[in-house]
Amino acid sequence: TMNQSNRMLLPDGTSLPRIGQGTWNMGDDASRREEEITALRLGVELGINLIDTAEMYGDGRSELLVGEAITGIRDQVFLVSKVYPQNAGNERLIRSCEESLKRLNTDHLDLYLLHWRGDIPLEETVLGMEKLISQGKIARWGVSNFDIDDMKELLKLAEGTHCATNQILYHLGSRGIETELLPWQRSHKIPVMAYSPLAQAGSLRKGVIESEVVQEIASAHQATPLQIMLAWTVREEDVISIPKASSRKHVIENAAAGLITLSKDEIWKLDEAFPIPSWKVPLDMI
């Protein structure tokens, strides 16, 4: 089969790598700091130049680390952060964003996400996000952990259609979004950003890496089972996947996984081994 492109287009025409870099838990362990920064910078060099963080991660420590990692290369990075639901309205939203910008040592985010749905009315969050855009502090906004009913509610709002993505849990061992949410997002041209695409190196769902089918496909591609899991999440062109890797070796493998094209037969075998649920299940999250 032909190699797929390792990039995709947002509906607004922005070109993004299909594989980016997560940073949850980065910056928590001082002894790993240098290695984590090196890994993120290497990733940018290798073209996986979308970096995902959040004000929540390590109470700002992840953003501080990312800020350090992107020093001098800010313009090469598509920078994503997230606001706590309890901060996602009015002045608190503006302040949260400004504090994230300070920690990230930058003047704008490329994408700002509502981390999950809370009690603040969606209208208020959307208004605030639009205000942040007009102030030049963010280029676009989106949501995270929204199930289909939340998405439908969001798109009923006048500016709800500006939502650039929904970042949700998606890996070979958790395919619930494929029943309704993913097809719905596809029909509304809202790309999925897949988090925990490696099922946290298998620990969220036992048996995926060990599966005979995954192992066989991995050896056919001279790849690791985790690279196959990652390539699988981005097999369609409207999914972005953000694995977290804190070593050079893992970053190199993840960047390379963006160039693995699974054949129809391989995808079919994976469907058989890890079927889509037969009915709608609540959105999986962590």
Residues found near ligand NDP in the complex (CB under 6 A): 22-24, 52, 115, 144-145, 167, 195-201, 224, 226, 242-247, 250, 253-254, 286
Shortest separation between residue 205's beta carbon and ligand NDP, angstroms: 10
Q: Which residues are catalytic?
A: 57
Shortest separation between residue 123's beta carbon and ligand NDP, angstroms: 22
Distance CA 61, CA 70 (A): 14
Q: Give the orientation angle of helix 33-45 with respect to helix 61-69, to 10 degrees.
A: 50
CB-based contacts of 31-35 (< 8 A; 24+ apart in sequence): 32/246, 33/65, 35/246, 35/247, 35/248
**Toward ligand NDP, which CB reaches closer, 28 or 253?**
253
Shortest separation between residue 130's beta carbon and ligand NDP, angstroms: 21
The tokens describing 73, both together, are 């290369």
Shortest separation between residue 4's beta carbon and ligand NDP, angstroms: 19
Distance CA 59, CA 189 (A): 33
**Toward ligand NDP, which CB reaches closer, 36 or 266?**
36
Task: Write the DSSP string, 170-213.
Answer: -BTTB-GGGTTHHHHHHHTT--EEEESTTTTTTTTSTTTTT-HH
**Toward ligand NDP, which CB reaches closer, 4 or 233?**
233
DSSP 239: E
Distance CA 64, CA 172 (A): 32
End-to-end CA distance of the chain: 35
Closest residue to ligand NDP using C-beta atoms: 22
**Toward ligand NDP, which CB reaches closer, 89 or 197?**
197
**Toward ligand NDP, which CB reaches closer, 146 or 238?**
146
Q: Taking a C-beta distance cutoff of 8 angstroms, is the pair 47, 255 a contact?
A: yes
Shortest separation between residue 164's beta carbon and ligand NDP, angstroms: 14
Q: Look at the alpha carbons of 82, 87, 89, 91 in this order and tell me if their dihedral is positive or negative.
A: negative
